């Protein structure tokens, strides 16, 4: 068996979480803890001449700037690496290795520029650095293309060639297939590396499959503290160290890693958590670039299953991992045409609600505290009753307007009809009415998807001229805002005054075209404007 070496890239890959702004004290602390942990390689960040030097950031324009941050630190046994995304750092920004703090440079590149990138690797090697050729998106290579790359690698003879599972698509058997091609054909003196991502919750499992595959050559496995890194994160360094200690007799100091996680990493996790998420699962499931998911989510009117459908339709194959906005737009427009607009739903809803008294029911505490007033109004006016995102216990409703998948899931079945926004997917069959969510949203980010405002806008759009409302108390910074406290959103109390002010403003604008009356107390209206129906 060859030697297994452990490489930490927290200060580089972890920088995607915080735009590489760790803060100078954290850069120093993480570096020193990693050196104390006895890892073989510490990657200290990106070399990128598009970015100005910042002593608080681990993305630097030149090797000179590496010295400004790390030059005075004791590296002990560790070998120090930087990374270059080919095309982002001119060779002139690299001093010869014997004049630099760095021992090696990793160069990442996609397969369509493999020839130019490997020539760049040759130039870096001539400066005396240990060069790692990092194969971005290893899953995009056919076997034939990988063999073409091997010919280039064997000609340049870098220190290592590494498989990068950029989008977290690999399963262990697939990883081992690529690994075996490289192991069989790459010069035996060149090390092979592996860098995992966790979109399928397989980063650690894949890394174990890699290090436990028998080979006579030396190999390098990547990890980051607590898995910190791009998209779903990476294989956790502390787990890899544990396995290497237990199975291979290594002597990595895991306590030093844990101290660094507690001192420096957890604060970033609390503000910008990484790890397995629906977003990254969708990317990996459909073998596509994350920008496609972002593009479709920003449309604001697609359910998660709609997004999954769209991603599965991306073609040709080579467009999946190379984001093309024109492809995304064309698919979206085609999908919306096929699905149909909400015009038909709105026409039917207009016909059913036209010339009727309407009562909208919300979940505020006053729906119970002033229940007698509401009951009297219903007896007197016999309105069509529309509740929002819940089913009242003591009020018979005709329709429910739902904008939230979780709230829809919690609703008991009944004889009411459902008006759903396009981001909510029906459990069985189809909703009675489905309307485009995007057209009902507010421009204000804090309150853009308030379901009450969305329903008012929908009713206005189909020509409704008058509605009465109950159970829309407004927001309080002191008391529970709903009769059921579990419905409370965490941010509401701290923003109560601002939210009430904004709601009053939007409702006032809607009132220019539709009369809105409140049966129960509401902070959205002045007291003298509350509807005083004759009962």
Burial of residue 416 (number of CB atoms within 10 Å: 0-12, 13-18, 19+): middle
Average pLDDT along the chain: 91
Distance CA 293, CA 166 (A): 16
Distance CA 508, CA 526 (A): 11
pLDDT tier, 158 (very low <50, low <70, confident <90, very high otherwise): very high
Read off the DSSP letter of residue 42: E
pLDDT tier, 497 (very low <50, low <70, confident <90, very high otherwise): confident
Contact in structure between 12 and 42 (CB atoms under 8 Å): no
pLDDT higher than threshold 70 for residue 492: no
Distance CA 399, CA 397 (A): 6
Contact in structure between 391 and 413 (CB atoms under 8 Å): no
Distance CA 360, CA 397 (A): 9
Contact in structure between 349 and 459 (CB atoms under 8 Å): no
The structural domains of the chain, with segments of one domain joined by +, span 4-271, 286-339, 343-529
Distance CA 428, CA 408 (A): 12
Distance CA 416, CA 387 (A): 10
| Residues ≥6 apart with Cβ < 8 Å to 451 | 388, 389, 401, 403, 404
pLDDT tens, position by position, 82-112: 999 999 999 999 999 999 999 999 999 999 9
pLDDT tens, position by position, 327-337: 999 898 887 77
Helix (H) or strand (E) holding 41: strand 41-47
- Name the pTM for this structure: 0.73
Read off the DSSP letter of residue 27: H
Q: Cα–Cα–Cα angle for 94, 99, 102, nearest 5°?
A: 65
pLDDT tens, position by position, 176-221: 999 999 999 999 999 999 999 999 999 999 999 999 999 999 999 9
Mean pLDDT, residues 280-294 taken together:
90
Mean pLDDT, residues 432-449 taken together:
81
Contact in structure between 157 and 185 (CB atoms under 8 Å): no
For residue 442, the model assigns a pLDDT of 81
**The domain 4-271 belongs to what CATH superfamily?**
Aldolase class I (3.20.20.70)
For residue 533, the model assigns a pLDDT of 42
Q: What is the DSSP string of 114-132?
A: HHHHHHHHHHHHHTT-EEE
For residue 530, the model assigns a pLDDT of 46
For residue 534, the model assigns a pLDDT of 37
């Amino acid at each position: 068996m060859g030697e297994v070496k452990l490489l930490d890239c927290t200060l580089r890959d972890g920088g995607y979480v915080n735009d590489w702004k760790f803060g100078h004290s954290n850069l120093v602390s993480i570096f020193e803890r990693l050196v104390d942990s006895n890892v073989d390689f510490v990657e200290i960040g990106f070399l990128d001449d598009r970015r100005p030097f910042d002593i608080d950031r681990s993305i630097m324009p030149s090797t000179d700037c590496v010295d400004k941050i790390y030059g005075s630190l004791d590296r002990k046994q560790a070998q120090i690496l930087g990374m270059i995304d080919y095309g982002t750092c001119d060779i002139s920004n690299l001093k010869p290795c014997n004049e630099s703090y760095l021992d090696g440079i990793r160069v990442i590149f996609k397969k369509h520029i493999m020839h130019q990138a490997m020539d760049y690797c040759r130039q870096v090697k001539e400066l005396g650095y240990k060069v790692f050729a990092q194969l971005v998106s290893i899953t995009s290579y056919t076997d034939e293309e990988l063999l073409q790359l091997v010919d280039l690698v064997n000609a340049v003879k870098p220190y290592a060639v590494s498989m990068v599972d950029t989008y977290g698509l690999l399963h262990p058997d697939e990883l081992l297939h690529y690994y075996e091609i490289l192991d069989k054909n790459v010069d035996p003196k060149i090390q092979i590396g592996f860098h995992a991502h966790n979109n399928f919750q397989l980063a650690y499992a894949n890394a174990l499959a890699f290090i436990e595959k028998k080979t006579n050559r030396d190999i390098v496995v990547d990890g980051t503290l607590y898995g910190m890194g791009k998209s779903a994160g990476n294989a956790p360094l502390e787990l890899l160290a544990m396995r290497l200690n237990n199975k291979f007799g290594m002597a990595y100091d895991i306590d030093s890693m844990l101290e660094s996680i507690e001192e420096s990493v957890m604060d970033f996790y609390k503000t910008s958590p990484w790890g397995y998420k629906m977003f990254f699962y969708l990317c990996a499931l459909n073998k596509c670039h994350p920008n496609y998911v972002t593009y479709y989510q920003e449309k604001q009117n697609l359910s998660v299953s709609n997004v999954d459908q769209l991603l599965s339709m991306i073609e040709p194959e080579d467009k999946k991992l190379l984001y093309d906005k024109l492809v995304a737009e064309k698919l979206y427009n085609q999908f919306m045409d096929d699905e149909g607009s909400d015009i038909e739903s709105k026409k039917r809803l207009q016909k059913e609600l036209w010339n009727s008294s309407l009562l909208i029911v919300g979940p505020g505490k006053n729906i119970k505290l002033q229940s007698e007033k509401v009951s009297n109004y219903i007896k007197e006016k016999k309105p069509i009753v529309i509740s929002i995102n819940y089913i009242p216990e003591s009020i018979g409703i005709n329709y429910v307007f739902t904008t939230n998948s979780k709230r829809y899931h919690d609703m008991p079945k009944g004889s009411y009809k459902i008006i759903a926004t396009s981001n909510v997917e029906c459990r069985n069959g189809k909703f009675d009415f489905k309307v485009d969510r995007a057209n009902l949203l507010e421009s204000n980010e804090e309150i853009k998807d308030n379901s009450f405002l969305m329903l008012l806008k929908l009713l206005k759009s189909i020509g409704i001229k008058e509605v009465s409302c109950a159970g829309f108390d407004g927001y309080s910074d002191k008391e529970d805002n709903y009769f059921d406290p579990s419905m409370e959103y965490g941010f509401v109390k701290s923003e109560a005054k601002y939210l009430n002010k904004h709601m009053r403003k939007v409702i006032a604008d809607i009132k220019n075209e539709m009369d809105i009356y409140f049966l129960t107390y509401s902070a959205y209206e002045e007291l003298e404007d509350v509807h005083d129906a004759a009962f």
